[in-house]
A = this chain, B = another copy of it.
Amino acid sequence: MGKRTASSVARSQGKASIRDSLLEAASALMREQDTVEIGILDIASRAEVNHGMIRYYFGSKEGMMLALLDRDVQMRIRQLAALFRLDVTPTERMRIHLEGILDTYYQIPYLNRLIHAMVRDASPERVHHIAEELLKPIARAQHRIIEAGIESGEFRKVDPKLFYFNTIGSADGLYANRFTLSAVFGGIPAADDALHERYKKQTVETLMAGLLA
């Protein structure tokens, strides 16, 4: 600590902040434009930095996209760890978990599309990282809640792997289909907080009904 001067602290804060600004700019553009096909010039412009910063911090646009995926998913994995520390029944734990998944897709509706684009272009090491460090921990956590619920007699004997796809599909269903939303709901461009709360409530009730014994 003694060696860090005020200016080096300011510099490292500045670095973290440029890095974070770039990630947040990419995330915002993907949400607004409803696509993961965004350009580095647009990202840099949104973050108000030179686009060379993308290469400096992430090596490449692909590196930045992987860092964004890591940021988005690791945060949820930490929340899952906290969920297992709560002293609640499997039913209550699953309800909180499902609400978290719905919130996730509302906040980052590009998630599945980003994974799809990443695994198409990324190196085998990165694909392995995405599978092992990002996707499997979430699927395993849900599996664990379901097994505990079957054990305690609260849940019927569903296949946890299949239920996982019901979960991510139902969560994704509204937010990743913006045009259908607009057509079916009379022209609204995207879900807002009020619609999200209604969708979350009904979706969690439906999924829990499928699960409860």
The size of the chain A interface, using a CB distance under 8 A, is 49
**A130–B184 Cα gap in the complex (Å)?**
12
Q: Does A112 contact B (CB under 8 A)?
A: yes
- Chain B residues in 8 Å Cβ range of A179: 115-116, 119, 127, 130-131, 135
Q: A173's contact among B139, B169, B198, by CB below 8 Å, is which?
A: B169
Within 8 Å by CB of A172, from B172, B203, B207, B209, lies B172
Minimum Cβ distance to chain B for residue A144 (Å): 14
Expressed in whole angstroms, the minimum distance between the Cβ of A124 and any Cβ of chain B is 13
CA distance A157 to B112 in the complex (A): 31
SS class of chain A's interface: helix, strand, loop or mixed?
Answer: helix
6 further A-B contacts with Cβ under 8 Å, apart from A127-B179, A165-B177, are A112-B180, A161-B184, A161-B185, A162-B203, A165-B170, A210-B210
Assess whether A68 is interfacial by the CB under 8 Å rule. Answer: no
A6 interface hit (Cβ, 8 Å): no
**Assembly CA distance A203 to B166 (angstroms):** 7
- Set B116, B136, B162, B177: member contacting A183, Cβ < 8 A: B136
| A180 CB contacts on chain B under 8 angstroms | 112, 115, 135, 139, 165, 168
Mark contacts of A122-138 with chain B using CB atoms, 8 A cut-off: 1 yes-contact digit, 0 otherwise: 00000100111001100
Near B by CB (< 8 A), chain A positions 86-139 give 112, 115-116, 119-120, 127, 130-132, 135-136, 139
Nearest-CB residue, chain B, relative to A203: B166
Interface membership of chain A positions 196-209, coded 1 if the CB is closer than 8 angstroms to chain B and 0 otherwise: 00110011011101
A18 interface residue (CB < 8 Å to B): no
CB of A32 closer than 8 Å to a CB of B: no
Which residues of chain B have C-beta atoms less than 8 A from A167's C-beta?
Answer: 173
Q: Which of A27-47 contact B (CB under 8 A)?
A: 34-35
**With an 8 A cutoff between CB atoms, is A23 at the interface?**
no
Chain A 129-179 residues near chain B, CB threshold 8 A: 130-132, 135-136, 139, 158-159, 161-174, 176-177, 179
Q: Assess whether B135 is in contact with A198, with CB atoms less than 8 Å apart.
A: no
